[in-house]
Amino acid sequence: MSTETVRCDIDERGIAHLTIDRPKALNALNSDVLDGLDAGIRDLAARDEVRGVFVRGAGDKAFVAGADIGQMRELDPAGAEAFARRGLAILEQLERLPAPVVAVVDGYCLGGGCELALACDWIVATDQAVFGQPEVGLGIIPGFGGTQRLPRRIGPAAALDLITTGRQVDAHEAQRLGLAQHVVTADSLEQTLSGIAKAWLRNAPGAIRAAKEAIYTGADLPQDRALRLEASLFAGGFAGDEQAEGMAAFLEKRKPGYAG
Ligand code: CAA
């Protein structure tokens, strides 16, 4: 399901690429892009065959340089609230996709772009990536979850540093802060993504989904309830074919074959 500004391609292995394709505006998130993201993410959510998702920005300059400033300029408070709620709802759907989702950041990843990357499960950045939440320089605060997901990812002090100064950080500093998980050269990016995709495909898809569910659902629960949730999802794994196949394959010294 692709639109003019968002491409959603799923290969025959179930690896999806969700690409924001508005490079002339550094992939800024205008209402067309938000509509395209909404449609693409709904499509991915409805497909059981999806084993993993890479979110990317088209062109060689930006992942996403933020929400569209030209469109936001026209908003009154009610319009701004509706715009923020729309962005938040779309990013929540992305975060809730059952398969793992990686943000592939090459170039500018600012404002709403950084918030989009934070709604992905983790970030692979090239050494040309630049991260930041520059909203206070525009007289606003982050509106697509930055004040909430950034401190949860890197801690409140580091998030306050980035959000109140609006400063940009390079990929290596983003990695030190825990914002980017992998930093690679632009030349080795595709090889890194291929390695991640192969790992997703090698492992049991139901177990991967259950692990993701345990992590996100457990994060909102007190630890005792979260641990019981893990036990119940662990037990659920013994009801299907994956555990039988995985353990038999280990004991028979062969590779497991999981139904995709
Ligand atoms: N919105 C709309 N258009 C944008 C944009 C944005 N966020 N970012 C870049 N563009 C457009 C520019 O206007 C320019 O368009 P024209 O060619 O038509 O003039 C084109 O993309 C290329 O950008 P630049 O010429 O500015 O490129 P540069 O290399 O000189 O600078 C940049 C790159 C530092 C990223 C600069 O474009 C920039 O500062 N962009 C804005 C970043 C920003 O403030 N983002 C936060 C937005 S607020 C937000 O996201 C709120 C929220 O939380 C939801």
- Tens digits of per-residue pLDDT, 206-250? 999 999 999 999 999 999 999 999 999 999 999 989 999 999 999
Distance (Å, rounded) from C-alpha 125 to C-alpha 103? 8
Average pLDDT of the chain to the nearest whole number = 97
Whether residues 138 and 56 share a domain: the answer is yes
Name the residue of 22, 26, 105 whose CB sits within 8 Å of the most ligand 1 atoms, as the mutation to test its pocket: 26
Instruction: Quote the pLDDT of residue 151.
Output: 98
Is 115 a residue of the active site? yes
Whether residues 73 and 186 share a domain: the answer is yes
Instruction: Quote the pLDDT of residue 166.
Output: 98
Whether residues 17 and 71 share a domain: the answer is yes
Question: Considering its fold, how many domains does the chain have in total?
Answer: 2
Whether residues 181 and 139 share a domain: the answer is yes
Q: Which residue has 């992905």 as its token pair? A: 120
Residue 216 sits in a domain of what CATH number?
1.10.12.10
Whether residues 164 and 219 share a domain: the answer is no
Question: Is the pLDDT assigned to residue 13 strictly greater than 80?
Answer: yes
Instruction: Quote the pLDDT of residue 260.
Output: 65
- Of the listed 135, 190, 242, 245, which one is catalytic? 135
State which of 200, 220, 241 marks the end of a domain. 200
Q: For residue range 78-97, list pLDDT tens digits in order.
A: 999 999 999 999 999 999 99
Using DSSP's 3-state secondary structure scheme, residue 48 falls into coil
Residue 20 sits in a domain of what CATH number?
3.90.226.10
From the CB of 63, is ligand 1 less than 6 Å away?
A: no
Closest ligand 1 atom number to CA of residue 67? 50
Closest ligand 1 atom number to CA of residue 142? 53
Whether residues 230 and 194 share a domain: the answer is no
Collect all residues with Cβ–Cβ distance below 8 Å to 5 and sequence separation of at least 6.
Answer: 20, 21, 22, 30, 32, 33, 36
Quickly count helices (H) and strands (E) in the chain.
11, 10
Residue 258 lies in a domain: no
Is 49 a residue of the active site? no
From the CB of 135, is ligand 1 less than 6 Å away?
A: yes
Q: For residue range 181-191, list pLDDT tens digits in order.
A: 999 999 999 99
What confidence category does residue 259 fall into, taking pLDDT thresholds of 50, 70 and 90? confident
Whether residues 118 and 27 share a domain: the answer is yes
Span 62-90, average pLDDT:
98
Residue 157 lies in a domain: yes
From the CB of 68, is ligand 1 less than 6 Å away?
A: yes
- Of the listed 12, 74, 81, 115, which one is catalytic? 115
What confidence category does residue 1 fall into, taking pLDDT thresholds of 50, 70 and 90? confident
Quote the domain boundaries for residue 243.
Answer: 204-251
From the CB of 111, is ligand 1 less than 6 Å away?
A: yes
Whether residues 131 and 188 share a domain: the answer is yes
**190's torsion region: left (phi>0), alpha (psi -120 to 50) or beta?**
alpha
Residue 66 lies in a domain: yes
Whether residues 95 and 185 share a domain: the answer is yes
Whether residues 167 and 218 share a domain: the answer is no
